């Protein structure tokens, strides 16, 4: 097989000349192709068959022990002008970057098969979808891309029609971290990734395309590519609000998107559209709408069980690829937080000894088709997307950030998103639990200068129909008390907070004006049936003026790092918060 598209054919030929594969395979996305790839990987040891009685069609992949997460320090945005990449990105001159990485690609696929994967991010017939082609020497990448994107013949047909697509070149190379680079050339709509076979480093449709390159394209074309889950909240009266929510990696996006309503909220229904990425557009009526560009989930496994999230738990009992989980004696996947079973082999395949670290890697993952989600929204495939009522920003904050607050308006909401901070997690290599600024949860994913990105957000809001703009909220499920215990139960109980949010969207309840935004009145947040004393709720819904003055100073310093490109409107918004804090202090 090949293609009628001359530029694609030429690129594939060029790559083959550089990387020297033994053969070239054009992926059509069929079941037969998938089965053959899995068979081959079982033979080569790339995949291990899990217990087919308990977990039909489930497989385990163990990645190289040095290759278990995204590598932000090896991820580059290569723009002609360094300022365009901004202080939020590592930068390399594009000519230098191509030279360096092409050197690593030279002969990299010798003796291997080169797979050409045409894919579409978003419903195949959506005007908001965008296509790409990933070339890779990893069959694991192919079977994952088949779950995560609309991959194969239909995508190729669209690519041939449009003649515009993102080019992604990937090779696992020799997996040596010293020869590992994830490089983005947004001006050329090109990605080159070498030396890693893991998740976001290798499945180029995901973070590399749908966030870094797409955020760049989105600014040029007037839309937003965001690190946001997408969900519908249906009230017992049958009204559905769609919400997009940005949280950093491994902060519970998948769980929130698949939330199971608590017993205290009968009649509520949740519909999942996406768990990681949203592409947002203002439509002709000035309404913000969103699609999920992905078609599957690459979710964190540890902690998933019947109690925390039975939807997610049920979904991964079949047709799932597990990466870096542990194994029981009868070959069932095992991870920390699972209620039963005993691990005998850890994520590296070594005999498991308790007390010697976790059995499953903390960033172990499942890959599964979104269609397996029991609460998959029928609108997830709608080409026009869904109208957005509310945007949520949230991080992991032990202190300072209250359970929930509402921004005063769009511009203030942009400040709330820009000032977001969160403790780091196992999703990226590096120290864990350190608070860092993570604007809109896009620190690792914005493909251009954050200062320009904030301007773009502000501009998008001013160009939309103000009465139709979604409200913006900040939430924090992760507040801890003095003894380090979580103060809010999280998981399904988060719906109590989401209900307040939809009440606000419908203008049903008033809110309390504070210097940082609008907070719920205690009586409007239902905590019936929760084992929570009133003082805990008090703390969750109050603001510490001293801590917030420090927060404002920290955000101000953070904005300073971005110099003169920072939009003055954002600084004005921050000054507004500072002034209101002073006024409250004086009163
Ligand atoms: O490895 S991924 O980037 O796909 C997962 C994540 O960090 O969110
Ligand atoms: Mn993510």
Mapped onto helix, strand or coil, the DSSP state of residue 114 is: strand
CB distance 221 to 455 below 8 Å: no
Rounded to whole angstroms, the Cα distance separating 394 from 504 reads: 18
Q: What is the DSSP secondary-structure string of 87-107? A: TTSEE--HHHHHHHHHHHHTT
pLDDT score of 465:
79
The 59-61 sheet, strands edge to edge: 48-49, 59-61, 321-323, 365-369, 296-300
Catalytic-role residue among 27, 120, 208, 251: 251
251 is an active site residue: yes
The candidate with the shortest Cα–Cα distance to 303, out of 481, 425, 146, is 425
Position 341 in a domain: yes
- Nearest protein CA to atom 8 of ligand 1, as residue: 249
pLDDT score of 464:
78
Ligand 1: which of 199, 211, 226 to mutate, most ligand atoms within 8 Å of CB? 199
147 CB-side CA count, 13 A:
24
Exposed, middle or buried: residue 142 (CB in 10 Å: 0-12, 13-18, 19+)?
A: buried
Tell me, yes or no, whether 118 and 258 share the same domain.
no
Cα–Cα distances in Å, from 211 out to 106, 329, 460, 574?
28, 40, 17, 27
pLDDT score of 331:
98
Tell me, yes or no, whether 131 and 271 share the same domain.
no
- The owner of tokens 């908001």 is 128
Mapped onto helix, strand or coil, the DSSP state of residue 574 is: helix
* Ligand positioned closest to the Cα atom of 226: 2
The candidate with the shortest Cα–Cα distance to 440, out of 418, 413, 407, is 418
Q: What is the DSSP secondary-structure string of 489-536? A: --GGGHHHHHHHHHHHHTT-S--EEETTEEE--GGGS--TTS---HHH
Tell me, yes or no, whether 84 and 166 share the same domain.
yes
Tell me, yes or no, whether 154 and 267 share the same domain.
no
The candidate with the shortest Cα–Cα distance to 319, out of 368, 272, 258, is 368
CB distance 570 to 417 below 8 Å: no
pLDDT per residue as tens digits for the range 514-565? 999 999 999 999 999 999 999 999 999 999 999 999 999 999 999 999 999 9
Tell me, yes or no, whether 247 and 301 share the same domain.
no
Position 67 in a domain: no
Position 1 in a domain: no
Position 60 in a domain: no
Residues in the chain predicted with pLDDT less than 50, given as ranges, are: none
Tell me, yes or no, whether 14 and 91 share the same domain.
yes
Tell me, yes or no, whether 333 and 265 share the same domain.
no
Tell me, yes or no, whether 278 and 307 share the same domain.
no
CA of 365 to the centre of ligand 1 (A): 9
Tell me, yes or no, whether 183 and 85 share the same domain.
yes
The 326-328 sheet, strands edge to edge: 333-334, 326-328, 343-345
Q: Could you tell me the residue range of the domain that residue 313 belongs to?
A: 296-372
pLDDT score of 585:
85
Q: pTM for the whole thing?
A: 0.97
Backbone angles phi, psi at 75, to 5 degrees: -105, 125
Q: What is the CATH number of the domain that holds 284?
A: 3.90.228.20
pLDDT score of 202:
98
Provide the terminal-to-terminal Cα distance of the chain, rounded to the nearest Å.
Answer: 74
Tell me, yes or no, whether 264 and 130 share the same domain.
no
Rounded to whole angstroms, the Cα distance separating 169 from 315 reads: 31
CA of 201 to the centre of ligand 1 (A): 8
Number of independent structural domains in the chain: 3
Query: Ligand 1, closest atom to CA 198?
Result: 1
Tell me, yes or no, whether 143 and 254 share the same domain.
no
Position 53 in a domain: no
Query: Ligand 1, closest atom to CA 69?
Result: 1
pLDDT score of 1:
66
The candidate with the shortest Cα–Cα distance to 166, out of 107, 125, 218, is 218
Tell me, yes or no, whether 281 and 139 share the same domain.
no
């Amino acid at each position: 097989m090949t293609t009628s598209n001359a530029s694609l054919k030429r690129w594939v030929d060029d790559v083959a000349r550089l990387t020297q594969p033994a053969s070239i395979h054009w992926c059509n996305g069929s079941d037969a192709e998938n089965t053959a790839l899995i068979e081959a990987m079982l033979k080569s040891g790339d995949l291990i068959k899990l217990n087919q009685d308990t977990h039909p069609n489930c497989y385990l992949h163990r990645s190289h022990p040095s290759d278990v997460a995204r590598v932000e320090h090896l991820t580059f945005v290569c723009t002609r002008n360094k300022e365009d990449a901004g202080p939020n990105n590592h930068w390399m001159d594009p000519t230098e970057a191509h030279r360096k990485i092409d050197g690593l690609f030279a002969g990299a696929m010798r003796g291997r098969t080169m797979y050409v994967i045409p894919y579409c991010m978003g419903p195949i017939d959506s005007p908001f979808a965008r296509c790409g082609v990933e070339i890779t020497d990893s069959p694991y990448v192919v079977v994952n891309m088949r779950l995560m994107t609309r991959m194969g013949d239909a995508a190729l047909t669209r690519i041939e029609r449009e003649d515009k697509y993102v080019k992604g070149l990937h090779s696992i190379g020799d997996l040596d971290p010293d020869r590992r680079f994830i490089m983005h050339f947004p001006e050329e709509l090109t990605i080159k990734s070498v030396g890693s076979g893991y998740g976001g480093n290798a499945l180029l449709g995901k973070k590399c395309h749908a966030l870094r390159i797409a955020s760049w394209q989105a600014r040029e074309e007037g839309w937003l590519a965001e690190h946001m889950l997408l969900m519908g909240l249906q009230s017992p009266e049958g009204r559905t609000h769609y919400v997009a929510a940005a949280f950093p990696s491994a902060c519970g996006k998948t769980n929130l998107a698949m939330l199971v309503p608590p017993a205290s909220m009968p009649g509520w229904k949740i519909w999942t559209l996406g768990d990681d990425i949203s592409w947002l557009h203002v439509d002709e009526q000035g309404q913000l709408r969103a699609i999920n560009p992905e078609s599957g989930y690459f979710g964190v496994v540890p902690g998933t069980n019947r109690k925390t999230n039975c939807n997610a738990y049920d979904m991964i009992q079949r047709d799932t690829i597990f990466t870096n989980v542990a194994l029981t004696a009868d070959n069932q996947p095992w991870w920390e937080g699972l209620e039963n079973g005993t691990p005998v082999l850890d994520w590296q395949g070594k005999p498991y000894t308790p007390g010697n670290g976790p059995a499953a890697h903390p960033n172990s993952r499942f890959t599964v088709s979104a269609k397996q989600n029991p609460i998959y929204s029928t609108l997830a495939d709608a080409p026009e997307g869904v109208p957005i009522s509310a945007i949520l920003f949230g991080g992991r904050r032990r202190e300072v950030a209250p359970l929930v607050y509402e921004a005063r308006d769009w511009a203030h909401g942009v400040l709330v998103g820009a000032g977001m901070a969160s403790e780091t997690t196992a999703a990226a290599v590096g120290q864990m639990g350190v608070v860092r600024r993570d604007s809109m949860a896009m620190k690792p994913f914005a493909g251009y200068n954050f200062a320009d990105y904030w301007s773009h957000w502000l501009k998008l809001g001013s160009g939309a129909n103000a009465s139709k703009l979604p409200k913006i909220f900040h939430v924090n499920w992760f507040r801890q008390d003095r003894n380090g215990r979580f103060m809010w139960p999280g998981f399904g109980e988060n719906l109590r907070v989401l209900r307040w949010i939809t009440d606000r969207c419908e203008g049903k309840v008033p809110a309390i004006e504070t210097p940082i935004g609008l907070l719920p009145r205690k009586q409007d947040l239902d905590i019936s049936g929760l084992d929570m004393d009133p003082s805990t709720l008090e703390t969750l819904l109050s603001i510490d003026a001293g801590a917030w003055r420090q927060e404002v100073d920290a955000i101000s310093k953070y904005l300073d790092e971005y110099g003169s490109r920072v939009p003055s409107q954002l600084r004005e918004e921050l000054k507004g918060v500072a002034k209101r804090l002073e006024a409250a202090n004086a009163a």
